[in-house]
Amino acid sequence: MRKTFTLWAVIGSMFTGAAIAQTPARPKCATDEVEARLLQADPGYQARRQENEAAIARFLANPANKRQMQATKTIPVVFHVVYKTAAENISDAQILSQLEVLNRDFRRFNADTTNTPQAFRSVSADTGIEFCLASVDPNGAPTTGITRTLTTANSFTTNDDMKAAATGGIAAWPRDQYLNIWVCNLSGTTLGYAYKPGAPANIDGVVLRYTTVGAAPANPFPAPYNAGRTATHEVGHWLNLSHIWGQAPGCTDDDLVADTPQQVEENWGCPTYPVTTGTGGLCTAAPTGSMFMNYMDYVDDNCMNLFTQGQGSRMNAAISTSRASLLASTACQNTLMANFLASSTSIQVGTSINFTDLSTGGATAWSWSFPGGTPATSTVQNPGNIVYNTVGVYPVTLTVTKGGVSNTRTIPNYITVNPSSTCAPPAVSFTQTSTSVCQGDTITYNSSATTGATTFQWTFTGGTPATSTAANPTVIYNTPGTHNVTLKATSGCGTPATLNKAVTITAMPTVSVTPTISSRCTPGPVTLTASGATSYSWSPATGLNTTTGSTVTANPSVSTNYTVIGTTNGCASDPVIIPVNVTVVQANFTANPAVVNLPASNGLVTFTNTSSSNALFHNWNFGDPQSGQTNNTSTLKNPTHTYTQAGSYTVTLIATSNSVTGNCSNTKTFVIQVNTVSGLQKAFDAGNIKIYPNPAKDYLRVEVPETEKVTEVQLINTIGQVVARQKPAAGQVRLTLNQAAGGIYFVKIINAEGSITRKVSVIP
Ligand SMILES: [Zn+2]
């Protein structure tokens, strides 16, 4: 059953109140408990979870992604063993056993699939998700994928103390490259817990009680939680699965998965099928009962045996969205992992199969086992012509070895041998343009070598299109991993035959750069740091100290968009563009007039903005607060202002670039001088005061309007001595110059308001 969304309010409250439904004595998973705590402690967590859910919903809504889960994808894992006692310091073998359990359960290679009730087998899933023990540590050095930390803590609670050295544990390795699994002595009844996508990086991962890790005999601890399925359950949470009943009991919530019937609450022990009533039963009655044997219930390890298709889709969507960086991780590039492909998995009795080694990590020896086949074993890398002479269903096992290390993969029920037919099957053969390409690349297939076929049916796991009936189709691969290509051809009489081949799609790294943009108002160096790939190429070279490496220093003189492309395992990322903006703003202006003479002028000053062209915003202050706030400021580019009082006015222009380039500003000031002019000056300016002749010889005549009430006119020499003076009569003054030596003189016209002075020349 599916609901629209998880009830955040419900889970936020259910662990803070007293009404905890679980029986305290029963071992439990603390994932809901730590998530409820995180919802209260981390204000951003709920939004991140909802973003992740939305991304998953978008991913699953795209039909092209439906086949994602059929592609094999591998998640690097590091185990952090935090121990005080020898028993807590579990063996490498126990951890390797846990890896095998995870890989069997997530691929549905587990031996107990036969315990899955018939009613649920059609929805049981091979999720395509695999796990590898990291062989490269965060510094690029070799690692066993296991860290061991001696602690003084007798036990740990769910407060994440095991995830920091300061609290007796060890810090997480980068969660974008590794699944961190801490193994320690969890106190109380807690078997393990995990954080779903969206948790802070320092606590993201899975925690397991040391007794639950791996399966017997590598796990020496008592049943019923000694088969490694606590990890299967918790990694399910880490990939965004909820418990079958959701995060609140009593049919008030569900797990957002359509093919897990909604049930009331958890099951314990190993119930007898079917469970139709009670707290472990269904919310809506059905004869099949609840799916208590799902890995996301609470039953004993040996009682659980399936994920569903819907759960597989959700986990694959999480890997392709919020945890996508793991697909490009190189942490397992040296890890030995057995893998193989049969040329056909369904044949007629008496015919043969070829096997292709797909192991990774540089195996040097191969040991094959073909129950039901002849020969039944092989030590060559790619054994061919294994004949199956008995109708039945058979497993295949490959063990690969490098140095003293080995790794084994068994695929149960892999080969189906059918009764013979009198109708001859076609001889299927095809070629492909490549067997290994980068994410986003295409491969073209050619079936022209097939004989005896009348129809073709291609299947491309992880490819688009996912199927084709064309003879020579072209497929684009957007999903990293190892994918099967199957061509099923049918003869004219109706007998089919199939041929499988493998293609490996290498993940395109996702590069991020810090900072994503740099804006500065003066040129200067900025450090750009890229992550997400193993090598980088930067361009343009102008302004960069180097064009390779994860860290470069950019110091461009002008704004430059730098581009970086990262490469991992030969596959290049999409380009990432980092704008480095250098915005030098220069404020400047002219004023006309710069000197204002009142009242001859009306006081209007026109300002012409000559700032640099990148200045888009102009803030003026005319230094004239008496004119009022509105009049004293302006945001126009070329404003005017009217001055009405004498004085010195400091005009300020702040020129600013736009906000995209960082609001760079520059300030320019200029002083406007405003003079108040006397009536004498005004009369002189108007031509109503006359001084003549100039140069003068015998006399100098001055005419002034009687309205100016001039009291005296003086003639002053260059050293300030008054050499002649006279009061005007009827607006006229006549100064006799007989006694004056030749040279420069000043005529000073005086009234009660003040005076004006004008220069004249006297000829001897
Ligand atoms: Zn759980």
Task: Give the distance (Å) from ligand 1 centre to CA of residue 50.
Answer: 20
Closest C-alpha among 548, 550, 478, 481 to residue 513: 550
Confidence of residue 4 (pLDDT cuts 50, 70, 90): very low
Q: Which two tokens stand for residue 412?
A: 């149960």
Task: Give the distance (Å) from ligand 1 centre to CA of residue 104.
Answer: 19
Q: Which amino acid is at 595?
A: V
Task: Give the distance (Å) from ligand 1 centre to CA of residue 192.
Answer: 8
Instruction: Tell me the mean pLDDT in the region 307-327.
Output: 93
CB atoms within 10 A of CB 606: 12
Instruction: Give the H or E element holding residue 745.
Output: strand 743-750
Confidence of residue 67 (pLDDT cuts 50, 70, 90): low
The confidence score (pLDDT) of residue 3 equals 40
Q: Is residue 701 predicted with pLDDT exceeding 50?
A: yes
The confidence score (pLDDT) of residue 21 equals 44
Helix (H, G, I), strand (E, B) or coil at 572: strand
The confidence score (pLDDT) of residue 70 equals 67
Q: Which two tokens stand for residue 244?
A: 């079958």
Task: Give the distance (Å) from ligand 1 centre to CA of residue 180.
Answer: 17
Task: Give the distance (Å) from ligand 1 centre to CA of residue 161.
Answer: 20
Name, in order, each residue with C-beta under 8 angstroms of 613's C-beta and a sequence gap of 6 or more.
none
Q: Is residue 10 predicted with pLDDT exceeding 60?
A: no
The confidence score (pLDDT) of residue 6 equals 40
In our burial notation (b when 16+ CB lie closer than 10 A, e otherwise), range 260-298 reads bbbbbbbbbebbebbbeeebbbbbeeeeebbbbbbbbbb
Instruction: Tell me the mean pLDDT in the region 511-538.
Output: 90
Q: pLDDT (tens digit, 9 = 90+) per residue, 142-156?
A: 999 999 999 999 999
Percentage, residues of the chain above pLDDT 90: 67
Q: pLDDT (tens digit, 9 = 90+) per residue, 172-183?
A: 999 999 999 999
Name, in order, each residue with C-beta under 8 angstroms of 616's C-beta and a sequence gap of 6 or more.
656, 657, 658
Q: In Å, how far are 345, 383, 388, 409 from 375, measured between CA atoms?
A: 17, 10, 9, 19
CB atoms within 10 A of CB 145: 25
Instruction: Tell me the mean pLDDT in the region 58-85.
Output: 85
Rounded distance between C-alpha atoms, residue 608 and residue 288, angstroms? 85
Q: Is residue 22 predicted with pLDDT exceeding 70?
A: no
Are 700 and 691 in contact by the 8 Å Cβ rule? The answer is yes
Closest C-alpha among 648, 632, 649, 628 to residue 640: 632
Task: Give the distance (Å) from ligand 1 centre to CA of residue 296.
Answer: 6
Predicted ipTM? 1.00
The confidence score (pLDDT) of residue 2 equals 41
Task: Give the distance (Å) from ligand 1 centre to CA of residue 322.
Answer: 20
Closest C-alpha among 585, 529, 581 to residue 555: 581
Q: What is the rounded (10 degree) CA torsion for 316, 322, 323, 325?
A: 120
Rounded distance between C-alpha atoms, residue 57 and residue 119, angstroms? 27
Are 102 and 235 in contact by the 8 Å Cβ rule? The answer is yes
Task: Give the distance (Å) from ligand 1 centre to CA of residue 10.
Answer: 17
CA 466 to chain centre: 28
Confidence of residue 476 (pLDDT cuts 50, 70, 90): very high
234 is catalytic: yes
**What's the helix, strand, coil split of the chain in %, to 5?**
15, 35, 50
Rounded distance between C-alpha atoms, residue 600 and residue 98, angstroms? 98
Dihedral pair phi/psi, residue 531, rounded to 5°: -145, 165
How high does pLDDT run on average in the chain? 90
Q: Which of 53, 234, 265, 266 is catalytic?
A: 234
Rounded distance between C-alpha atoms, residue 447 and residue 695, angstroms? 115
Q: Is residue 586 predicted with pLDDT exceeding 60?
A: yes
Q: Which residue has the higher pLDDT, 24 or 358?
A: 358
Q: Is residue 171 predicted with pLDDT exceeding 80?
A: yes
Task: Give the distance (Å) from ligand 1 centre to CA of residue 522.
Answer: 55
The confidence score (pLDDT) of residue 12 equals 40
Task: Give the distance (Å) from ligand 1 centre to CA of residue 21.
Answer: 14
Interhelix angle 45-61/31-41, nearest 10 degrees: 120
Q: Which two tokens stand for residue 179?
A: 């699944």
Q: What is the rounded (10 degree) CA torsion for 539, 541, 544, 548?
A: 60
Instruction: Tell me the mean pLDDT in the region 32-49.
Output: 94
Lowest-confidence region among 235-244, 457-466, 749-758: 749-758
Task: Give the distance (Å) from ligand 1 centre to CA of residue 140.
Answer: 33
Are 185 and 210 in contact by the 8 Å Cβ rule? The answer is yes
Q: pLDDT (tens digit, 9 = 90+) per residue, 652-675?
A: 999 988 765 557 889 999 999 888
Q: pLDDT (tens digit, 9 = 90+) per residue, 106-155?
A: 999 999 999 999 999 999 999 999 999 999 999 999 999 999 999 999 99
Closest C-alpha among 664, 649, 528 to residue 586: 664
Helix (H, G, I), strand (E, B) or coil at 379: coil
Q: Is residue 745 predicted with pLDDT exceeding 80?
A: yes
